Amino acid sequence: MKTLIQITLKDKSIIRISCVVKSTDDSFVKAEEILGSGGENVFLQITHHRMNTLMDLTRAVPCILLYFDEDDQFISAVFNLDNRNGSFAVQFQSRKVLFLHYPTTVPIERTESVTLNSDH
């Protein structure tokens, strides 16, 4: 499902980007499978009931992962830049992750929250 995501910045300005919404109930996720080889941004909703999710970023396209809490507030970000030759994994508790393909025009350091808007 393709959706318009609204990213609210700390100065209350808004950026809208298109993305694909996906969900998983797995506690071990391969980013390469979530992102595929396409150039689309992905918003991943995690539905399992375990404390943490382990995400394997090995061979995933260069991207930035933005983590959001249950109230859609920005928590932190992880950069995955050119890990196609080595292993890279992250463990996190967030249930909402926005994958932005790198490079991005979204000012990560000014991000405050995210909202799923409407289908298009």
For 70-87, the pLDDT digits (tens) are 999 999 999 988 766 778
CA 86 to each of CA 50, 57, 59, 94: distance values in angstroms, whole numbers, following the listed order: 27, 10, 8, 25
Query: How many domains does the structure of the chain reveal?
Result: 1
Task: Report the share of the chain in percent with pLDDT over 70.
Answer: 92
Provide the CATH number for the domain around residue 113: 2.60.120.1140
Q: 108 and 64 in contact (C-beta within 8 Å)?
A: yes
Residue 87: the pLDDT is 85
**Alpha helices of the chain — where are they, by DSSP H?**
31-35
Domain around 86: 2-119
Task: Report the share of the chain in percent with pLDDT over 90.
Answer: 73
Phi, psi of 110, rounded to the nearest 5 degrees? -105, 5
